Amino acid sequence: EAPAGAEPLKKRLGVMGGTFDPIHHGHLVAASEVASLFQLDEVVFVPTGRPWQKSGRPVSAAEDRYLMTVIATASNPQFSVSRIDIDRSGPTYTIDTLRELQSEHPDADLFFITGADALEQILSWRDAEELFDLAHFIGVTRPGHTLTDPGLPEGGVSLVEVPALAISSTDCRKRVARGEPVWYLVPDGVVRYIDKRRLYADLLDDLDDLD
């Protein structure tokens, strides 16, 4: 209970959106690092519904991507997974995700965590102004992506360097398709789930389409 006259402490809620096809240790390290640096109370992972950015290649079923995300985050009490994007029909727009999370958590400050590559596209998003009202944006650098000055609004964006992890979902899918190991690139339970559901195995014929 806050003392009379004092502002109650707002919950600091991280939001990690992604396709998570599959989720890998790059995602998990980024979320963990940002949670520590920004003193977040919780990070909610939000697997996308139909990602409009990736309409070119087949994306695994939403339920598989959701379950892999649950498996990967289950042991961390600070991490949770939301179904809001996969349960909403149509393509996923970050603005809808943030609006819905804000109404679910009216007392929280939202921190949207995204890769440096994705951050550069923010300027091209519709409703960029409202996006910055809804959340503070945190761009994490990843290997192979140097940030050019994105010209983003002052104070609305932070850039953070996370321990470099040259892991991508694209590379994980290619490895599975070629029969190469993904142990230690993704959590053990995710390796088992990919195997159990035979995800990515039949992509061998069109490896070029995997990107």
Binding residues (CB under 6 A) for ligand ATP: these are: 18-21, 26-27, 30, 114-115, 117-118, 140, 142, 162, 165, 167-170
For ligand ATP, give the closer residue by CB, 108 or 167. Answer: 167
CB of 2 to ligand ATP, least distance (A): 35
- State the minimum distance, in angstroms, from the CB of residue 115 to ligand ATP: 2
Least spacing, CB of residue 1 vs ligand ATP, in Å: 37
Q: Where are the alpha helices (H) located in the chain, listed in sequence order? A: 25-37, 62-73, 84-87, 94-104, 116-119, 128-134, 169-178, 188-196
Residue nearest to ligand ATP (CB): 115
Minimum distance, C-beta of residue 106 to ligand ATP, in the bound complex (Å) = 26
What is the secondary structure of 139-165 as a DSSP string?
EEE-TT-PPP---PPTTTEEEEEPPP-
Using the minimum distance from each CB to ligand ATP, give the nearer residue, 31 or 108: 31
CA distance 11 to 40: 8
Which residue, 36 or 170, is less far from ligand ATP as judged by CB? 170
**Which residues, in sequence order, are CB contacts of 129 under 8 Å at separation 6+?**
none
